[in-house]
Amino acid sequence: MKKLISLIVLASMLLSALITPLAALDLPLVQNFEMDETYVMGDANLDRSVDGKDALILKTAVAGVGEHKISDDACDFDADSALSAKDSYSMKLLLSGAKKSADFENGYQLYSLTIGGNDIHDYCIVLPEGTSEDSNIQFAYLNLMQYVEKATGFRIPMCYGTPITEKAIYFNHVDLNSELGQKMGVEGVKYEVKDGNLSIWGTYRGNGYAVFDILEKYVGIRFIANNATFIFKSRTVDIPEGLSVEYVPKITFRYAGQTYGGGDSVKYHYYPHRLNGSQLYQYDSPFYGTKTGPEFINAHSFGYYWAMGTGTMPDESFGTLSERYQYKHDSGILVDEYKWNPCATDPKVYNTIFSGLIDTTLMVMSWGRVYRFEEDLSAMSFSICDNQNYCTCRNCRKIAVTQKEGYSGLFVQMTNKACDDVQEYFPGCKLYMILYDHTIPATIKPHDKIILMYCGTGCDNHILGRDTCYEQGGQLNGSSNKTDLTALPAWGALCKETGAEIWFWVYAVTYHYYLIGCPNIPNIYYNLKWMFDNANVTGVYYEGGGRTYNFETMKAYLAVKMMWEPDMSYERFVSYAKEYLYMWYGDGYEELWEYIEMQTEAGDQCGTCFINNFDRPGDMYSYEYMGENYEYMRDLLESAYDKAKNHTQKTRIETLLVSCDFMGLSSLHTEWYLEGTEETKQLYMDRYLWMHNYIKNHNMSIFRDSIYVFPTEVNYEINPMIQFYEHGSRRVNVYP
C-alpha cells in the first residue's frame, strides 16, 4: 500500500512539473462578450416559450412524420447530436415540471465540444519542447485554451513534449527553410484531425491563424468589433475525424483601420481577423507573429525625409505630429504632408530625400525596431505627399507630359533609383510608394523592390469592371472608373512582369457626413473581387476612421473577410453580411439587409458618380427615391428594432433610425412640412424632434471635423440637410 501511495505521489509530482502554471500565462480577455440567445431547451419552434406545440413537433420529428421546422439544438436534451425517444421523454419531464431547462444546460454557449467524436475534457495541449514564451505558438495556444474555456467552461491543460492525456492537440513549429516551411511561407495554415488528435502547424503566423480559424468555424467565436466578441450558442459541435486544412493566403498585405484601433483591442480583433499590416508596429514580436508592410511611416514620407536630410526636424515643443510637417527648409519651400511634393528630376533634391530615408531607417533601428528586409516582410515608405501638386519644372514636365510617362512614371523612376541605392545600406529593402496619378507610363517600369500602392478609384458609386460611370464623371474632379478599367490591370501587369507588388488603398469608409452612410456596401465585394482577379492586386489597405452609425463596423468586417477569402462568391459575402447583422442587431437581419439594398438603390439612382472622401449626401443619394421609399425603409428598421433581443441591439438600431429619418425628412421637407397637410406636418415634427433629441442626448457626431456643428435649436422651417450641413450637394438643381 505504501509503495502504491508513493507511486501516486510521484506521478502527481511529475504531472505538476509537466503542466505549466496557467494563471501566469493568461491573456486577459477584457473585451465585451455578447452571447447568442438562439434557443432555450425545449423550445422546438423557437417562439421563446415551451409548451405542447413543442412536444408535438419533437414527437413527429422523432417519428419521421410530417414536415416541421424544428430547432435541433433546443430538442437534443441528451446532447448526442440526434433526436430520439429519449429526447421526447425529457420534453415530457420538462413540461410536467419534473425538470427545468437549466437542468439540461451547463451555463455555457457550447454544451458539448468533441474532436473526432472524443470529448474535449479528454484532451491536453502539447507544445514542442523548448517553446519560448514569446513564440507565436504560445500566443496560439493561449487563445485556443482561453476561448474554449469561455465557450465551454473547460480549460484544456497544457504540457510540453509528451501528452498527459490519451488524446491531444499538438502545436508544431515549422522551420521556414524546411520543405514544408517553403510551401507554407510566413503565413501558411495547416491543421488536421487524425486518430482523434488535432495537429496544428505554422512558421511565423500559421499556428495563430489556425487557432482563429478553428475558433470561428467550430467553437462559434466571432470577433465583430474592437469592443465586442460574439459567441454563438450550440448544443453539440464536433471537429470531425479526417479534417484536413491547408491554406496559404493569396493577399499578402491585409489591413483595416476601422474598428481595429490600438491597445488591447489589437490582440482581440486585429490578429483574430488575420490582419498583418505593419501599421500596428508596437505589436511586432514573435508572440503575435511578424507583420508585413512599410515601417515607421505608412505613406507621404518625402516631407519627413527632406526634414531629416536637411537637419531641420523640429523638437517636440514644436507641436503635434501633423504640425511638425509644417515648416520651411532653407530654400523657403513649405514641407507639409498635404502641401508639398519634391522635384523628381533634381539630383540635389533626390540626394537630400534619400539621405533622409537612410537616416530615418537608422534612427528607428536605434530604437530597437527589427526590420525584416531580406525576408520580404519589411519595407520603407518612399512616397509623395498627400496631393497631386507635382513639380512643373522643365525636366519633370518633359518626362511626365512630353514623353508620356505621367507623374506616376516620373516618381516610379525616382523610386527605382532609390531601390538600387538603398541595397548598399539595407540589402533586400523594398520601397513602398503611393500612386495617385494612374497614368500608364510609356516606357518606365517598376523595380522588383517596389511596392506600388494604387490609391482609390475615380468613383465610389459604380462597380469596378463595369463601364457604368456617367460621362460627366465624379462631382469633385470630374473623374470616373473608366480610366481605372484599363489603368489598374495595366499597372498590375507591369508589376507582374517586373516582380514588383501592387496593393490597393480602399476608400470605402464614410469619411465626413456621419449621419449619412455611403450607399455602396455591395461594392466592397465586387471591387475587391475584380481587382484580385484582373489586376494582380495582392495587398489591401482599408481606410479607417468615421463612426459606427451606418454599418461602418460591418463594412470593415466584410472587407477583412474578402482579404482572407478573395475567391468567395457573392452569396457567401451576403451570408457574412447577414450573419454580422444578426450578431450586431439581432433577429431582424433580413429586414436590415433589405434596407441596405434599398440604400444601394438610392445611390444607384442619384444620377452621378461620387467619391466617398469628399462628395456630399446629395451627390450620393437620390432624394426622389428616398422620399418615395422612406416610410417602407423606416418600417424595416422598426421591424428589426422589435425583433432585437436586448438593449444594446436596440440602441444600435436607433442610430440607424436617426440616419434614416435624417435622409427621409430632408427629402420630404417641402412635401410633408412646407406644403403638407396637418397630419403630415405633425408626423414630420414628431420625427424631427425625436431625431434631434436623440442626436443631442447621445452626443452623436455629425461631421468629421468642426466645420458643421449640430444645431442646438429645433427649427422645422429649414430643411435638415441645410441646417446640419449647409448644402446637400455641389451639383446644380439638386434638392434640397
Lowest mean pLDDT among 238-242, 534-538, 706-710: 706-710
pLDDT for 22: 38
pLDDT tier at 263 (50, 70, 90 boundaries)? low
The answer to whether 519 and 598 are in contact (CB under 8 A) is: no
**C-alpha closest to that of 665 among 637, 696, 614, 627:** 627
- DSSP H or E stretch at residue 95: helix 85-96
Q: Give the mean pLDDT of 278-285.
A: 72
pLDDT digits (tens, 9 = 90+) for 414-447: 999 999 999 999 999 999 999 999 999 999 999 9
Lowest mean pLDDT among 186-190, 207-211, 300-304: 300-304
pLDDT tier at 289 (50, 70, 90 boundaries)? confident
pLDDT for 597: 98
pLDDT for 10: 35
pLDDT for 14: 39
As a whole-number percent, the residues of the chain with pLDDT over 70 amount to: 89
Query: Which positions ≥6 away from 362 have C-beta within 8 Å?
Result: none
pLDDT for 462: 92
| Higher pLDDT pick, 556 / 19 | 556
Query: Which positions ≥6 away from 234 have C-beta within 8 Å?
Result: 73, 109, 110, 111, 220
All three cell numbers of 243: 479534417
pLDDT for 252: 96
Lowest mean pLDDT among 39-48, 235-244, 393-402, 661-670: 39-48
| Higher pLDDT pick, 109 / 11 | 109
pLDDT for 219: 98
Q: Give the mean pLDDT of 399-411.
A: 97
pLDDT digits (tens, 9 = 90+) for 6-47: 333 334 333 433 444 333 468 788 888 999 988 999 999 988
Query: Which positions ≥6 away from 365 have C-beta within 8 Å?
Result: 371
Average pLDDT value over all residues in the chain: 89
Query: Please, which residues bridge with residue 238 across strands?
Result: 114
Q: Give the mean pLDDT of 642-657.
A: 96
Q: Give the mean pLDDT of 226-235.
A: 92
**C-alpha closest to that of 260 among 250, 271, 249:** 271
pLDDT for 24: 41
Residue ranges of alpha helices (H) inside 153-298 are 179-184, 206-214, 265
Has residue 601 got a pLDDT over 90? yes
Ordered structural domains, the chain, with CATH: 2-32+113-258+260-268 (3.30.379.10), 37-108 (1.10.1330.10), 292-455 (no CATH), 618-725 (no CATH)
pLDDT for 12: 38
pLDDT for 326: 40
pLDDT tier at 288 (50, 70, 90 boundaries)? confident
The answer to whether 642 and 591 are in contact (CB under 8 A) is: no
Query: Which positions ≥6 away from 286 have C-beta within 8 Å?
Result: 132, 134, 135, 136, 204
- Gap between the Cα atoms of 213 and 235, Å rounded: 20
pLDDT for 69: 81
pLDDT for 472: 61
Has residue 191 got a pLDDT over 60? yes
pLDDT digits (tens, 9 = 90+) for 676-687: 999 999 999 999
As a whole-number percent, the residues of the chain with pLDDT over 90 amount to: 71
Greatest mean pLDDT among 147-156, 272-281, 541-550, 612-621: 147-156
- Gap between the Cα atoms of 585 and 734, Å rounded: 34
Q: Nearest 5°: CA angle at 676, between 675 and 679? A: 160
- In the three-class reduction of DSSP (H, G, I as helix; E, B as strand; rest coil), residue 303 is classed as helix
